[in-house]
Amino acid sequence: MKVFAVGNVPTLPTPEQREAILPQEVPHTLRLYLDGVIEQFWFRTDRPGVFFLMDVESVDQARATVEALPLAQAGVMTFELTPVGPLAPLARLLPAE
């Protein structure tokens, strides 16, 4: 299943927190990408945060995955998870078979 994980940063981390967490966060996120768990990712341009398109078995798996990220573990980033799928109403536009 596909899940959008929207990461928000309610309070900006201190420089010390960034220095301590980011060297762990980047490899962790890249490993999830290389493993196919995170299919695509973007940095928000409207405020601090990220968007991940995830390929997971369940929303619970997505939650456990993002909550294990170092920024989430440190309480710096929170995630909103939304399962998504094909735009099923488009099937009405197809001719009957």
pLDDT value at residue 93 = 86
Q: How many domains in the chain?
A: 1
For residue 94, pLDDT over 90 is answered with: no
pTM exceeds cut of 0.85: yes
**Residue range(s) defining the domain that contains residue 80:** 2-93
Distance separating alpha carbons of residues 76 and 93, to the nearest angstrom: 45
Question: Across the strands, what pairs with 2?
Answer: 55, 84
Mean pLDDT of all residues in the chain? 95
Distance separating alpha carbons of residues 18 and 88, to the nearest angstrom: 42
pLDDT, tens digit (0-9, with 9 covering 90-100), for 23-37: 999 999 999 999 999
State the DSSP H helix or E strand holding residue 32, giving kind and residue range, or none if neither.
helix 15-34
Residue 58's CATH number: 3.30.70.1060
Using alpha carbons, select from 86, 85, 87 the residue that is nearest to residue 2: 85
